[in-house]
Amino acid sequence: MDARNEMLRLIHARRDGFSLEQPFYVDPDFYRLDLELIWYRDWLFVGHDCEIARPGSYFTLQVGAYPVVVVRGRDGVIRALHNTCRHRGSRVCTAQRGMAAKLVCPYHQWTYDLDGSLVFARQMGDDFRKQDFGMKPVACESVAGYIFICLADEPADFAPFRALMEPYFAPHRLVEAKVAYESTIIEKGNWKLVWENNRECYHCAANHPELCKTYPEAPTVTGVSGAESDPDILAHWEHCEAAGLPSRFGIDKSGQYRATRAPLLRDAVSYTMTGRRAVRRNLSDSVSADRIGALLLYHYPTTWNHVLGDHAVTFRVLPLGPTETAVTTKWLVHKDAVEGVDYTLEELTHVWTMTNDEDRRIVEENAFGIGSPAYEPGPYSAEHEGGVMQFLEWYAASIGPRLAETGKPALRDVA
């Protein structure tokens, strides 16, 4: 049986409330199917508008086999382009980030405008049509300071996500913030293990001494149910909404994304060891940092986020291989906040630098154990791991029908 049929069989045989079978976490063919059917199909968070604030500024990234460049044009519009030259395919932009008046391929200097159109190709003959050889566009949207791309030929409608996410995020003005610090760590585990770990706080008390000073481990905060019946959360929503900040739990019907606001412990205002603010200046001029807790957003498969009154911490997940995942964390502050005056990097980044490393270790041990021939799917805690079950439901409901699409073997051929 080929990998596609085997994956489909295992998706249908999946036991609710249990972790996945081993191949989902280790098998190179299953990984390729994840790329093809999830990563090359869904909208992916790639970075922030404020990272490419000026025309000509760009950053690059790699999604599976696809090199992509995200660049701001002279018209101020952010676009994403396939970062592969239309001459013989060289990568055009090789730096992680940069600033350019034009995008010039390093191989034979074909030169593209910031919108991807080819403006110069040396000695290609009289009948060469430059207009036929522009860099190929990638679908790109930006909302409330977040840039998303989609590699699919026919991307899903972005509007519902924009409609849900924008009211929560717009007041925080991430569109004009600045990235004070960025880190990328490599976790030796499948991308789904990174997510499973993120979607529960069953592990927090024993593993995250720093984060647990301020972040509640209650499953009503991390998970996807019960928030409405948690009196602390209800009171928090009322407080924040009275201050004009949408806060109630909002989730997409497919479960792919959710936004909500959560209180921090003991009226902490920031993720610091004391709970006091890490940045003297508020993240947004129009939002007080007083008891607004954390605005939480996840969007599968690339991002989870915590927006506080004084700063925001955003995360981007990118798969590197069947058992390797890159997690990029960015700490955003008000654009005029000054390092050494309004904040120190040590205090700003300490809690999540430690937490990330703790999570890396957990994910790697999880991956290690799953590699054992003795591994078999185990049961999630209904009380604490509802968020993990919901992630896997989204995954199964997304990849199952895509595996079974027309032109591919139907389920009845597989049983």
310 sits near Fe ion (criterion: CB under 5 A)? no
- Residue 137 touches which member of ligand FES, Fe ion, none, C-beta under 5-8 Å by kind: none
Which CB sits closer to ligand FES, 39 or 110? 110
Residue 130, class by beta-carbon neighbours within 10 Å (0-12 exposed, 13-18 middle, 19+ buried)? middle
Tallying the residues shown for the chain, one arrives at: 415
Residue 86 near residue 69 (C-beta atoms within 8 A): no
**Least Cβ distance, residue 122 to ligand FES (angstroms):** 9
Name the segment binding ligand FES (CB under 6 A); options: 12-20, 83-91, 334-342, 349-357: 83-91
Q: Is residue 110 a contact residue for ligand FES (CB under 6 A)? A: yes
Cβ-based nearer residue to ligand FES, 124 or 265: 124
Residue 85 touches which of Fe ion, ligand FES, none (Cβ within 5-8 Å per kind): ligand FES
Site for ligand FES contains 118 (CB under 6 A): no
**Biggest alpha carbon–alpha carbon distance for the chain:** 74
- Shortest Å distance, C-beta 198 to Fe ion: 7
Return d(Cα 206, Cα 392) in angstroms, integer: 24
Q: How far apart are CA 244 and CA 160, in angstroms?
A: 22
| Complex with ligand FES: residue 85 or 201, whichever CB lies closer | 85
Residue 359: which of Fe ion, ligand FES, none does it interact with, CB under 5 to 8 A by kind?
Fe ion
| Binding footprint of ligand FES, residue count (CB under 6 A) | 9
Select 34 or 359, whichever has its Cβ closest to Fe ion: 359
Minimal distance in Å, beta carbon 135 to ligand FES? Answer: 10
Considering only residues 37-56, where is the footprint of ligand FES by CB under 6 A?
A: none
Q: Site for Fe ion (CB under 5 A): which residue of 42, 187, 359, 385?
A: 359
Of 215 and 249, CB closest to Fe ion: 215
Identify whether 28 is preceded by a cis peptide bond (ω within 30 of 0).
no
- Helix, strand and coil content of the chain, in percent to the nearest 5, comes to 35, 25, 45
Q: Which pairing describes strands 137-143 and 78-82: parallel, antiparallel, or unpaired? A: antiparallel
**CB under 8 Å to 394, separation ≥6 — which residues?**
254, 255, 256, 300
Report the 10 Å Cβ neighbour count for 157: 8
The only residue of 90, 183, 207, 225 in contact with ligand FES, by rule CB under 6 A: 90
Q: Does 85 bind ligand FES (CB under 6 A)?
A: yes
Single out the residue of 32, 82, 87, 280 in contact with ligand FES (rule: CB under 6 A). 87
Q: Does 105 bind ligand FES (CB under 6 A)?
A: yes
Q: What is the DSSP string of 75-141?
A: TS-EEEEE-S-TTT---S--SSEEE-SSEE-TTT--EE-TTS-EEE-TT--TT--GGG-PPPEEEEE
